Each structure stands twice: as C-alpha cells, then as structure tokens.
Amino acid sequence: MTSTEPSLADGEQLRRLLARFSHAFDNADAEALGEVFAADGTIELARTGAVFNGLAQIRAFSRELGPGSPDHQTLDSVFWIDEDGTARGRSRYLAILADGSVHNGDYFDSYVRTPEGWRIAHRRSVPRYPLPAEG
C-alpha cells in the first residue's frame, strides 16, 4: 500500500491537535477533549488493555486520572494519508509521573476531518519503557 504526506496546512493542524491533547489532559480539562477526539473516538492502552470508546468514556478516563495525571510531551510526529484517504500518524511520547519517574512510548493515531477540524478517531498508546511485566 502506498501513502502520501498531508498538505502543509493539514500537517500543521494535526500538530496543533496533538498539542491540544496534551494541554487538555495535563490541565484536567475534560471538556476540551471534544476539540481533540471524534465523538466516537477511541483510546486503547496497550499497557493495561483498557479501551475507552466515545467521548464520554474518554472524558471520564481523563477525570479519573486526577492530580497524579502524567505530564505529556508529544514528540517526533509523522503523518501520512493512506490510499483509501485515511489520515494516520505516529508520535513518540514522554510522560512525567507525579513521583518524577518517566515513561515513554508511541501513539499510533488515525484521524478524521470534521466540520470543526481534524479529530483523533483512534489512538493506540504503546509503551516502550519501563517494559511491562510480561516483557
């Protein structure tokens, strides 16, 4: 399958979308997640197997993190458009935990364009370090 790069304008909008994600989660602004995720969006956490479907579940997950929520840094994002028109991205993340420890990994995203702009349709968060107990 071949892929193409998004336009410069779309690439910039996608980068801003990822920045909004970090600001919304890190500032406990669950309502702002509507500017980040599609109404039927999904977050899948590979570390725990947890899946959050739809904006209501994503917002509840964000609220449950409370004051110990990790501080997110999204890095080295690359975007492409599949032959079928699906926009995708891969980003590295660093998360600083309340105790000062750090973990990192990759976000694998698919995006959808809505009348309000790009939104994350599906995010799979896959940790690198520390390694899960099963390796």
CATH number at residue 95: 3.10.450.50
According to DSSP, the β-strands at 37-45 and 117-129 are: parallel
Contact 127/104 with Cβ under 8 angstroms? Answer: yes
- 65 within domain boundaries: yes
Whether 53 contacts 32, CB under 8 Å = no
Give me the mean pLDDT over the 61-71 stretch. Answer: 84
Sorting pLDDT into bands at 50, 70 and 90, what band is 31?
very high
In the predicted model, what is the mean pLDDT of residues 26-47?
Answer: 94
Distance, CA of 78 to CA of 4 (rounded, Å): 11
Region 32-48 average pLDDT: 96
In a domain, 53, yes or no: yes
- pLDDT score of 61 more than 70: yes
- Residues spanned by the domain of 103: 3-129
- Residue 61 domain-assigned (yes or no): yes
Q: What is the pLDDT of residue 134?
A: 61
CA dihedral 127, 26, 119, 79 (to 10 degrees): -50
Q: Side chain identity at 62, as an amino acid letter?
A: S
Q: What is the phi/psi pair of residue 9, to 5°?
A: -65, -45
Residue 111 placed within a domain = yes
* Mean pLDDT value of segment 67-74: 85
| The total number of structural domains that make up the chain | 1
